[in-house]
Structure 1
Amino acid sequence: MSRAPRESNSLAAGIAMLARQEGCNSTLHPGVVVYHLTAAEPPTPLLYPSSLILVGSGEKQATLGDQLFDYNADHYLVVTPPLPMLCKTIASARRPVLTVQIELDLALLRELLLDVDLRPPPQPARAARSVFRAPLPRDLEDAGARLVACLAEERRTRALARQTIREMLFLVLEGPYGDSLRALAEGPVSQLSHVLRHMTTRFTERMMIGDLAQMAHMSVPTFHQHFKTMTGTSPLQYMKAVRLTRARQLLQAGGLVKTVAHDVGYESESQFSREYRRLFGAPPSASTQLTPREER
């Protein structure tokens, strides 16, 4: 009989100290943000960055296709490439969601693999996972708690944050899905992840499938096949989701519909409004009435 997950763990107090505002809070270390969420939210399309996410309290659910990933005080989540997914927030003022999100630094990951020569043990071949959830071991929880503690002070952040993140990556590599994290640094997964990062940072530009396939060093048919396996969608639908989730953030921050449509790469405001409604179930104007939040 499985036990219920803990309501909180040793990261909660440290995250609460750093997350002074509702929603997303930056920290002293680039690539690390913390979230404080006190309102429940139904499954909503969001763009998850390539990241390791640890939860101090509360619970969230990510959905990719027909796969559901619960992450909470007893389970961490890893998203290897940037992925549009549905995100459900299970939170209240009494039991807020407190999370720390650590960007996966490919240079640091490759450095780690080179230094310690982490060879995966022999096992049956299996496809690398774009997203995985795993039980949070005590040593990874302890490292996460030390990370959020050092982020409270600039000198400690400079001295300790990078090496603590490196330790956390090592522990994930030694976990049940370490091969999926390792794949991010080498082979077809690495090649595609480079393309996905390019697409999410330059999403306003017009992109040709042939150019993206060439960037991944693949033929167009092979690129389509690997892309669908990794993201669960086509390059066109992926780019559309990236643009629209970014548009939602801009609208919630007070942007005008016409300006936002242009800023995320749409030439036609009417097309933007149609596709926005199709994805979010409401017109863009509805998002301008919401409290600005960036959630993962």
Structure 2
Amino acid sequence: MDFKQDAQIDTGSVVGGGGGGGGRGGGIAVGGIGGIIMVILALVLGLNPGDLLGGGSGQPDTQQTSNAQCRTGADVEKNPDCRWPAYMTSLGQYWSQALNGFQPTTMRIFSGGVQTACGTANSQVGPFYCPGDQKIYIDDDFVGQLLQQLGTQQSTAAEAYIVAHEYGHHIQNLTGVLARSQDGQTGPLSNGVRVELQADCYAGVWFKWAAQNPDDVIDNITQDDLARIVDAARVVGDDHIQKQSGGGVNPDGWTHGSSAQRKFWVSKGFNSGDPNQCDTFSTDDLGA
């Protein structure tokens, strides 16, 4: 996956460091890959997953990051950090024409820990979306470690899938669907799993658009990229993570969907290119 040299990048789509988004009260953070591991461990240990995802003990970062130098796709070659606003620019362009009443979100890059409207979170939560301040949060250094820990390689395609999934949660927040995941239920047909699978499907839809749009900043999405996207979906399946955590597979504890479900919905989104095909609430055939 490459970046078009002359395509414009929205420098304001990603921010870093500095002030937080307030204290608790904005809902539980949603969609973190590391958060899947934490939720599973919480359920095994009999803890409240919200205590982990909404109010961790990580220390807020103090770094200040400027993306002013990230003006075009060519700048990604000079500064790899420019890939983050490039992902966000492309996603914003797609959803601005795909969703009536669209409002863009921003990504907050942090290191170690961060204060959000959903509480304080540390890096181990992984990438997540906070509905309270409508921001995506990513510790960019930890993403690669997390992907390797789960058994896949870091790549721009895998990273883009993660960002697109979290952006999908923002779209669900705008449409009111995201609130369905807050009922505390788990299992392969739970609302929480349906919300996560829909975000996967939205990620696949965006990849199809980016692959076909000659004016988008994302360029040259290859079969290898698609394979990495599907593999990233596989390794963040609840059953895969349960096995890696040393226990047996327990579908009753699923919060994000199995590897088969996640691969199914990413593929459905890409193959259809239509967000209307991502209605995970109208069927019990979720690809398990």
Normalization by structure 1: what TM-score? 0.28
Q: Which has the higher contact order (CA 8 A, sep 6+)?
A: 2
Structure ID, larger Rg:
1
Bigger proportion of residues as helix: 2
Bigger proportion of residues as strand: 1
